[in-house]
């Protein structure tokens, strides 16, 4: 069994949830947020850490069982007593709610026969495609591979994948901290919510 080593967090991308640790011997190791013990604050560049070195699936060195020294651990007993979790642990469900509203509007439109059935196929198919694109981008970011462009993600959402994209963003915690991306996503959501509302109220017609 490998012995714990010490090092410093020298690079961290909070949006993507990964970074790099430099060990005391100068070795540079990849670290993912899932390998870091739960703490009340987010990892920060300069944090002193202890870790166990492993070889990842791609053959590069990774840090596992990472402990950030000086960070406050999550108080699990307080959570069990009903105390609110730290702000960093709270999840924002606005995206899931937005996706649900799109789904409800679509059902209402189809139920009242205000749009052809193929519209449901568009939203379902492109929603799935959008979700898969976010999964691919997240995995590429973690592995340091070529990313899915933000333009492609937005275009897929724009042409009907918005509900799937919103759910994927929330579940993967991906693209949720980038303000510009969030604003563009909100604009796309408003466009689709407006389109479906227009169909529901009779102000917009397809075909």
Chain segment 157-194, per-residue pLDDT in tens:
999 999 999 999 988 878 877 788 999 999 999 999 99
Q: Are residues 14 and 58 in the same domain?
A: yes
Whether the per-residue pLDDT at 45 is higher than 90: the answer is no
Same-domain status, 32 and 120: no
Per-residue model confidence as pLDDT tens digits over 48-58: 899 999 887 77
Q: Which of 11-15, 58-62, 200-204 has the highest mean pLDDT?
A: 200-204
The pTM is what? 0.60
Query: What integer best gives the mean pLDDT of the chain?
Result: 85
- Give residue 69's pLDDT: 83
Q: Same structural domain for residues 48 and 101?
A: no
Domain that holds residue 23: 5-68
Together in a domain, 139 and 182 = yes
79 lies in some domain: no
Same domain for 64 and 150? no
Report the candidate in 188, 205, 177, 170 with the shortest Cα–Cα distance to residue 102.
Answer: 188
* Residue 11 shares a structural domain with residue 47: yes
| Rounded average pLDDT over 147-165 | 95
57 within some domain: yes
Last residue of a domain, one of 68, 99, 114: 68
Last residue of a domain, one of 20, 53, 68: 68
Number of domains in the chain: 2
> Per-residue pLDDT tens for 59-101?
888 988 898 887 655 554 544 545 454 444 444 578 999 999 9
pLDDT value at residue 86 = 45
Judge whether 41 lies within some domain: yes
Q: Which of 68, 83, 110 is the last residue of a domain?
A: 68
Rounded percentage of the chain residues whose pLDDT exceeds 70 = 86
> Are residues 102 and 184 located together in one domain of the fold?
yes
- Looking at the fold, whether 195 and 145 belong to one and the same domain comes out as yes
């Amino acid at each position: 069994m490998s012995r714990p080593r010490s090092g410093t967090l020298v690079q961290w991308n909070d949006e993507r949830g990964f970074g790099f640790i430099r060990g005391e011997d100068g070795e540079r190791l990849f670290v993912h947020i899932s390998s870091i013990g739960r703490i009340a604050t987010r990892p920060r560049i300069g944090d002193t850490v202890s870790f166990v070195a492993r070889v990842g699936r791609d053959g590069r060195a990774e840090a596992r069982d990472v402990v950030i020294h000086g960070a406050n651990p999550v108080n699990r007993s307080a959570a069990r007593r009903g105390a609110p979790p730290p702000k960093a642990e709270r999840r924002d469900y606005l995206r899931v709610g937005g996706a649900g509203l799109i789904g409800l509007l679509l059902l209402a439109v189809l139920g009242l026969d205000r749009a052809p059935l193929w519209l449901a196929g568009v939203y379902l198919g492109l929603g799935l495609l959008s979700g898969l694109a976010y999964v691919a981008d997240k995995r590429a970011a973690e592995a340091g591979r070529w990313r899915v462009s933000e333009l492609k993600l937005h275009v897929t959402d724009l042409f009907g994948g918005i509900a799937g994209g919103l759910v994927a963003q929330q579940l993967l915690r991906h693209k949720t901290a980038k303000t510009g991306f969030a604003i563009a996503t909100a604009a796309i959501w408003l466009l689709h919510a407006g389109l479906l509302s227009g169909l529901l109220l009779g102000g917009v017609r397809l075909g």
